[in-house]
Amino acid sequence: MEASTQSNGALLSLKGISKRFGPVQALNKVDFEVRAGEVVALVGDNGAGKSTLVKVISGIYDADEGQFTFDGEEVKISGPQSATTLGIATVYQDLALCDNLDVVANLFLGREDIAPGPGEVTRQLDETKMEHRSAELLDTLAVTIPSLRNEVGTLSGGQRQQVAVARSLLGEPKVVLLDEPTAALGVAQTAQVLALIKRLREQGLGVVVISHNLADIFEVADRIFVLRLGERAGTFGTDDTTEEHVVSAITGARTGQEGEQEGQA
Amino acid sequence: MSTPEQAAPAPAGAIVPSRTEFLRRFVQGDLASLRVVLGLAVIWIIFQSQNDRFLTAENLTNLMLQITAVGLISVGVVYVLLLGEIDLSVGAVSGLSAAVMTVLNVNHGWDPYLAIAAGIATGMAIGVLQGALFTRFGIPSFVVTLAGLLAWQGALLQVLGKTGSVNITNPKITGLANIFYSDTVGWIMAAVVIGIYAGVTFLGHRRRVAAGLPGVPIASQAVKVVVVAAAVIVAVAILNSDRGVPLAVLILLSFVAGMEYVVQRTRFGRHVFAVGGSAEAARRAGIRINGIRVAVFAISGSMAAIGGILAASRLLAVNQTSGGNDFLLLAIAGPVIAGTSLFGGRGSVWSALLGALVIGSISNGMDLLALESAVKYMITGGVLLLAVVVDAIARNQRQQAGRI
């Protein structure tokens, strides 16, 4: 495992996070943690606070209260840049790729390699180096793309998702947040993306996946974190729970047994 | 599910486009420039068959001189189009900048180089202003530059004063459009251009091979170099058999090649394409998209000024119609005819040159045939429409093939 861990094993942990938008309490004293080499699924009904929680972690929203611990140290996250600097990468649902640029250009967008020598004056791109690094990166992730020089617009949805995930890894993050990575994908493409998520775990990254698809979650996640009405409605170990339990936690049908199935004990 | 391309695997480690692949790329517009070159050849054959003076060295030299100003303006327009924006002020800016240069040189006795610099600075400042208005207030570039078109035309009249026309006599300025190089100098330039092109091509190939990346086979690279070398040699031979290589053409080609390098090979150019492709994706990648936009409008204003200065040099004067008439529309139509998308993110600076050649050839040929203005305008309009229709069909083909 590349990422260091601390005594209780959490790479990123949030304590008592609250976020309020006017009269709406989007998050209410939520505790959340991800360990290195672990995939945590974040589930909940629409409006449960999943997106708010991810945006708090990725620095888009400032939490009203609560504390962050990253890699054993208490930190403050304010602004997307500070989250990126800590080593938290986010892949949003819309992927934010430029369809008119090729795979290499998209991977390195905003952090292009510059050619040494006279080319430095004009900030000439080092295409050879970038293509080489892209090939290596996609190779380690076992992502297969017909050609690195294909425009991203010509790729399938699954390939685009994989490019977006690969891009987030170029900054060498320790935690990766994936927002609905399998939404709108076909069966084969979903399998590709889930396989990629598993490889991220093998590389020792902490992975947080937002998803509505319980089948996908049960296939890939180690733990399932359920949010309901801005509060934590339970954490389940994937191995010792069932879809029924998770669904009832999401819908609140079994509020009396909240947190009972704590799978990490 | 086996399309021809998939069925025919390329030899390992090489990108060999098959004939069907080539045909597909041709139809879908990836090879838009080849399509335009073919169109240009057709146009030339038609005019030559109507009037055998068309393809003479003298007329081709004239043609090149005629397209210089519009071609230079188009170079800046390409950058704006790549962003998916438009700059309607380029014609007016070219006139105003030329007027500023001329008035400073003629009426105020400024050094010609200083006056030229002041003219270009005027264009650049206008570009920065328009770019800032566009980004700061989120006004569509169409409206900002439409306002600019009117305002800078007014400024042109103001700068020219009561006489409404100023003649240029300074040989440094008139020389821009009227200097021709000797045969020897022409051949030396040809050799340098071919040498640089061959060097860059083969060095790039060697680097890719050294890095273990799949490369285009060396044979097809060599063919490319030979074709370019032949084109350069033929062009210089034709120009030499008349008056020699004109400085104006050298200026145009230098800007086309230089600005193509910037847009294709540098980080700035990559970011221009990114903003044109998806501004939101570019912003999230940490690109300062408003900075890119202002810079592009500054380039557009500067290139308009340079084009205007060349036009003034050729006319030996600036007057109230400088940069007016169809200057603006031709400068925008050229790159679009030659395959630069109006929707941003697709195109090249070569399209500025190719488009100017197409429009220039039509206009020059029709002049030789002594057609009336009425006919000339309608035919030019028809060609623009035809080009855009062909482009739209290509777009459609791409989308049907699952490519955006």
- A109: which chain B residues are within 8 Å (Cβ-Cβ)? 270, 274, 281-282, 285, 287
The reply to whether residue B281 touches residue A128, judged by beta carbons under 8 angstroms, is: no
What confidence score (pLDDT) does residue A262 get? 45
Fold of A10-99+177-257: Rossmann fold (3.40.50)
The separation between CA B326 and the C-alpha centre of its own chain, rounded to angstroms, equals 16
CB nearest to B281's CB, from A96, A111, A147: A96
Mutate to test the interface with A, among B1, B264, B265, B280 (most CBs of A within 10 A): B265
Estimate the share of chain B in helix, then strand, then coil, as percent rounded to the nearest 5: 75, 5, 20
What pLDDT, in 10s, does the model give residues A193-210? Answer: 999 999 999 999 999 999
Residue B197 scores a pLDDT above 70:
yes
Extract the tokens encoding B179.
């200097």
Residue A2 scores a pLDDT above 50:
no
Residue A133 contacts B, CB cutoff 8 Å: no
Residue B1 contacts A, CB cutoff 8 Å: no
The reply to whether residue B213 touches residue A98, judged by beta carbons under 8 angstroms, is: no
What confidence score (pLDDT) does residue B221 get? 87
String of DSSP letters for B25-82: HHHHTTTHHHHHHHHHHHHHHHHHHH-TTTTSHHHHHHHHHHHHHHHHHHHHHHHHHH
What confidence score (pLDDT) does residue A4 get? 41
The reply to whether residue B268 touches residue A123, judged by beta carbons under 8 angstroms, is: yes
What's the rounded Cα separation, in Å, for the pair A3 and A163?
23
Extract the tokens encoding B19.
């004939």
What confidence score (pLDDT) does residue B24 get? 60
What's the rounded Cα separation, in Å, for the pair B378 and B355?
17
Under 8 Å between Cβ of A194 and A26 = no
Query: For chain B, which domains are there?
Result: 31-42+52-179+246-400 (1.10.3470), 180-245 (no CATH)
What pLDDT, in 10s, does the model give residues B225-262? Answer: 999 999 999 999 999 999 999 999 999 999 999 999 99
What pTM was estimated for this model as a whole? 0.87
Extract the tokens encoding B26.
């041709």
What's the rounded Cα separation, in Å, for the pair B66 and B281?
41
What confidence score (pLDDT) does residue B314 get? 94
Extract the tokens encoding B42.
């057709």
Residue A100 contacts B, CB cutoff 8 Å: yes
The reply to whether residue A132 touches residue B212, judged by beta carbons under 8 angstroms, is: yes
Which whole number is the average pLDDT over B323-336?
87
What pLDDT, in 10s, does the model give residues A22-42? Answer: 988 899 999 999 999 999 999
